[in-house]
Amino acid sequence: MKIVVPHGIEMVEEALALLRTAARVVVLPDNSEATLRAEMHEANAILMGASLRLDRSLIESASGLKHIARLGVGVDTIDLQAATERGVFVTNNPGLTADSVAEFTMALLLGLAKNIPRCDRAVKEGRWEERSVLLNDNVELNAKTHGIVGLGKIGGRVAVRCRAFGMRVLYFKRNRDLEFERSAGVEYAPLPTLIGESDSISLHTPLTAETENLFDKPQFEAMKRTAFLINQSRGRVVNEESLIRALREGKIGGYATDVYEDEPPDAKSELFRFKNVVVAPHVGGVTRESRMRGHMAVAAEVIKTLKGGIPKNVVNGEVLQGLKG
């Protein structure tokens, strides 16, 4: 058996050791198409990070492939149809990074509200006089309204944390969660209402045909001019061109993100020139604790698949139906 680990995925040693008890593990020196195609030819499983794309031709080149295991949640970089047609399990790893991402969401929100990056640079660069400007720009979260778009495991944890800050919380998702509304003290709102009433909004939706460019010019026009937007979903859920225009015209109060339309993003993008933009290099779900939990869980599920079992968190359920048939 052979397991492929793409370049750039720094697996914890304990997870690699576990994988090696069941198969030969090949860590790729790079993610070029030539290297991927050569190593996937005999691969039985491949681990997936956020940046690598696995298209139909690569999937079809691996005749023995049984399992594509995503270390995170989003599977938009995997050709699910091609994998399903080949009977290949595609799994993700929900929940294990939820606390990490929720905490990072709050860090980004606080970074905007309290201008933490600007404060840091002002002191380090000897611009103490900037203190007078920052005193007027900093705002409180208490008694403000926070809107959550996508109330899954991450969104739910963000809601609880916002409530702890004394915020009113609105949420939007396809199906209302009445039990969570009662237990967490949050309110359901249609998306237009949420956008119009929120002082800050965080995005926690997968990237689908429905959510691509979910926030575009009309949404920015409808937001409060002081409102913050935090993107913790996928870069293309927000139309960056429209976002930059909204920031340039002062249509929103600020933007924070850990994800981008293209990763890595163009360092010369105008997005990075705004003082009310806080950015991070797609690390929201990564902590010492979450890496250990996530990597060990994925390793165990890959081994289960290679031994003939059915892994948890199968995204392409049609494969399971094929097994039953």
Could you tell me the CA-to-CA distances from 108 to 83, 130, 197, 253, 280 in Å, in that order?
A: 36, 21, 20, 14, 9
DSSP codes, 227-281: -EEEE-S-GGGB-HHHHHHHHHTT-SSEEEES--SSSSPPTT-GGGG-TTEEE-S
Assigned CATH topology for domain 2-96+288-319: Rossmann fold (3.40.50)
Q: What is the pLDDT of residue 309?
A: 96
Question: CA-based Rg of the chain, rounded to a whole angstrom?
Answer: 21
All structural domains of the chain with their residue ranges: 2-96+288-319, 98-279
Say if residue 204's pLDDT is above 70: yes
User: How far is residue 150's CA from residue 289's CA, in Å, rounded to a whole number?
Assistant: 24
**How much is the pLDDT for 95?**
74
59 in Cβ contact with 86 (< 8 Å): yes
pLDDT at 192: 98
pLDDT for 149-172, tens place per residue?
Answer: 999 999 999 999 999 999 999 999
Catalytic residue (choose from 33, 249, 263, 289): 263
Q: Exposed e or buried b for every residue in 177-214, given b needs 16+ CB within 10 A?
A: beebbeebebebbebeebbebbbbbbbbbbbeeebeeb
The one-letter code for the residue type at 1 is M
Q: Residue ranges of the alpha helices (H) in the chain?
A: 13-20, 33-40, 56-61, 80-85, 98-113, 116-124, 131-137, 153-164, 178-184, 191-197, 217-222, 240-248, 288-306, 318-324
Predicted confidence (pLDDT) at residue 114 exceeds the cutoff of 80:
yes
Distance CA 1, CA 38 (A): 16
Q: Is 75 helix (H, G, I), strand (E, B) or coil?
A: coil
Residue pair 187/171 in contact (Cβ under 8 Å)? The answer is yes
Average pLDDT (215-243) is 97
For the chain, what is the mean pLDDT? 95
Q: 240 an active-site residue?
A: no
Q: Which of 41-50, 102-111, 210-219 has the lowest mean pLDDT?
A: 41-50
168 belongs to the catalytic site: no
95/112 Cα distance (integer angstroms): 26
Omega prior to 264 cis, within 30 of 0 = yes
pLDDT score of 325 more than 60 = no
pLDDT at site 324: 56
Residues 57-104 pLDDT 10s: 999 999 999 999 999 888 989 999 999 999 999 999 887 888 999 999
Q: How far apart are CA 137 and CA 9, in angstroms?
A: 39
How many Å apart are CA 156 and CA 204, to the nearest integer? Answer: 10
Is residue 234 annotated as part of the catalytic site, yes or no? yes
Active-site hit among 67, 146, 161, 234:
234
User: Percent of the chain scored above 70 by pLDDT?
Assistant: 99
183 confidence band (pLDDT: 50, 70, 90)? very high
pLDDT at 50: 78
Two domains, one topology: 2-96+288-319 and 98-279: yes
Q: How far apart are CA 86 and CA 40, in angstroms?
A: 14
CATH number, domain 98-279, options 3.40.50.11720, 3.30.420.10, 3.30.2320.30, 3.40.50.720: 3.40.50.720
Give the model's pLDDT for residue 266: 95
Closest-CA residue to 276 (of 101, 133, 167, 126): 133
Q: Is the pLDDT of residue 275 over 60?
A: yes
In the set 70, 118, 282, 295, the catalytic residue is 282
Distance in Å from the first CA to the final CA of the chain = 26
